[in-house]
């Protein structure tokens, strides 16, 4: 109600007043990884377009994707992808009103963190 | 404005009533990606780093090409819907509308470019 004077009252406390907890940090990371994956996704689309265009264009895009910078982006994206995937599984469990107790939610949080690292190591070894 | 009643001010500021549909769309794309992500990682991963001829030959095969196509469609749809929620949380007013439309253009644009490329390589 923009035209009503509601007084200059303080807003309710937000993130900065709370101690970081496993549940909040893993939740924030889900959103961060999801959005960050756009970088790798756009690189892959560019790489595909270059392969569909010409050999010289492919050489340019492929050089970027296989450079140390590309390796770094894909290593981080690999972890982000597994993390976001496992976090999604966690949400599917929560959607059924299961494992919502704090201790169980924290267990799931650790499973997501540890599982994403293990899957990343596995992917690097296999691929 | 001074003559508006409190009720009149409140009307139209409630739920948009499309939340359930959005939630269900996210759940569907999440489930699809749960199947697609491992397939994508273990088809695209080994391919990356190959020569021009190897990449063209690899993505002319049905399985890697179909996995790539599906991942592009579902992945960018999922990104669009997820980024929409994040934007609605943090950005408001005109900036929100501009950002939502930009993300939509980017998502479907990248999806279309990727599909065009994979079709051209595969066919």
d(CA A15, CA B116): 43
Min Cα–Cα distance to chain B from A100, Å:
18
CB contact under 8 A, A38 and B120: no
Nearest CA to B32 out of B21, B22, B42, B40 is that of B40
Whether A109 contacts A22, CB under 8 Å = yes
Q: Decide if B65 is inside a domain.
A: yes
What value, to the nearest 5°, has the Cα angle with vertex A42 and ends A36 and A43?
Answer: 100
Q: Report yes or no on B1 lying in a domain.
A: no
User: What's the CATH number where B87 sits?
Assistant: 1.20.1300.10
Residue A1 banded pLDDT, cuts 50, 70, 90: very low
The number of C-beta contacts closer than 8 angstroms across A and B is 86
Could you report the per-residue pLDDT of A50-108, keeping only the tens digit for each? 999 999 999 999 999 999 999 999 999 999 999 999 999 999 999 999 999 999 999 99
Q: B40 is in which domain, residue-wise?
A: 19-122
Domain spanning A21-126, CATH architecture:
Up-down Bundle (1.20)
The residues near B76 (Cβ < 8 Å, ≥ 6 apart) are: A41, B107, B108, B110, B111, B114
Instruction: Answer yes or no: is pLDDT of A109 > 60.
Output: yes
pLDDT in tens, B104-117: 999 999 999 999 99
Which of B33, B41, B114 faces A45 most closely, judged by CB atoms? B114
Instruction: Supply the ipTM of this predicted assembly.
Output: 0.89
Number of domains present in the structure of chain B: 1
- First-residue to last-residue Cα distance in chain A: 57
Neighbours of A33 (CB within 10 A): 20
pLDDT (tens digit, 9 = 90+) per residue, B14-39?
Answer: 888 888 999 999 999 999 999 999 99
Whether the per-residue pLDDT at B41 is higher than 60: the answer is yes
Whether residue A122 has pLDDT greater than 50: yes
């Amino acid at each position: 109600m923009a035209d009503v004077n509601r007084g200059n009252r303080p807003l309710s406390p937000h993130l900065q007043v709370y101690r970081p907890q496993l549940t909040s940090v893993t939740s924030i990371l889900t959103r961060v990884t999801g959005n960050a994956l756009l970088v790798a996704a756009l690189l892959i689309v560019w790489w595909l377009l270059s392969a569909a265009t010409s050999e010289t264009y492919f050489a340019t895009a492929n050089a970027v994707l296989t450079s140390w910078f590309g390796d770094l982006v894909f290593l981080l994206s690999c972890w982000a992808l597994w993390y976001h995937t496992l976090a999604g599984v966690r949400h599917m469990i929560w959607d059924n009103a299961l494992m919502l107790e704090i201790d169980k939610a924290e267990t799931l949080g650790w499973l997501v963190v540890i599982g994403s690292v293990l899957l990343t190591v596995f992917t690097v070894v296999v691929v | 404005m001074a003559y508006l009643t409190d009720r009149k001010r409140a009307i139209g500021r409630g739920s948009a009533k499309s939340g359930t549909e959005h939630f269900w769309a996210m759940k569907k794309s999440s489930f699809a990606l749960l199947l697609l992500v491992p397939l994508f990682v273990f088809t695209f991963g080994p391919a990356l780093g190959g020569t021009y001829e190897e990449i063209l030959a690899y993505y002319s095969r049905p399985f890697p090409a179909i996995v790539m196509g599906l991942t592009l469609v579902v992945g960018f749809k999922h990104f669009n819907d997820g980024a929409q929620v994040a934007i609605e949380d943090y950005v408001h007013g005109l900036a929100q509308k501009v950002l939502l439309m930009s993300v939509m253009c980017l998502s479907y644009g990248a999806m279309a470019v990727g599909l065009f490329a994979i079709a051209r390589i595969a066919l």
